Amino acid sequence: MEFTTVNKEARKQLDMRTGDTVRVSQKISDKDGKVRLQAFEGLVIARKHGSEAGGTFTVRRVAGGFGVEKIFPLYSPMIEKIEVIKRSKVSKSKLYHIRATALKQISKRMKMMFVNIKEDMTLGQEEIKPEEIVDEVIEAVENASEEVSETTEETK
């Protein structure tokens, strides 16, 4: 007697480790009752409880300049498939330090940008409008978040 549509043996044999880049296809139901697949691609930063019934894995990605993390149950029937896209060698079983690393890199870039703006103002160049500064800050944050996501992919 089988109560779930999940292929337990395939999920148990799935060789997914911390540090891998995975694409998780998750079933999402719309208001109409239609079911569609939504892909969530990112870095596996944690895997808990191995391949037993309550096993979970945490996937992190940077979307729109913000770090987004989702915790997926390994045997959830809402997960259609799990693909390992890229494998990388890591020395830790939990990569929670990547959160702090990303924040440090963004704040470092923000400080550098503010120093450049202050230098421009003190050098007696034309007066800078506050709207221009806000636009520069937004652009710098977006660039920094893109670079952070690239560097986290390189460290894998």
- The domains of the chain are located at 8-86, 97-155
Could you give the 3-state DSSP secondary structure of residue 7? coil
Tell me which residue has tokens 């395939």.
Answer: 10
Strand-strand pairing, 35-48 and 56-63: antiparallel
20: phi then psi, degrees, rounded to nearest 5: -80, 150
What are the strands, taking DSSP E only, across the chain? 21-29, 35-48, 56-63, 66-73, 79-86
Q: Could you please state the CATH topology (level 3) that the domain comprising 8-86 is classified under.
A: SH3 type barrels. (2.30.30)
Query: pLDDT by residue (tens digit) across 27-86?
Result: 999 889 899 999 999 999 999 998 888 899 999 998 877 889 999 999 888 999 999 999
Q: Are 18 and 93 in contact (CB under 8 A)?
A: yes
Could you give the 3-state DSSP secondary structure of residue 107? helix
Q: 128 vs 93, which has greater pLDDT? A: 93
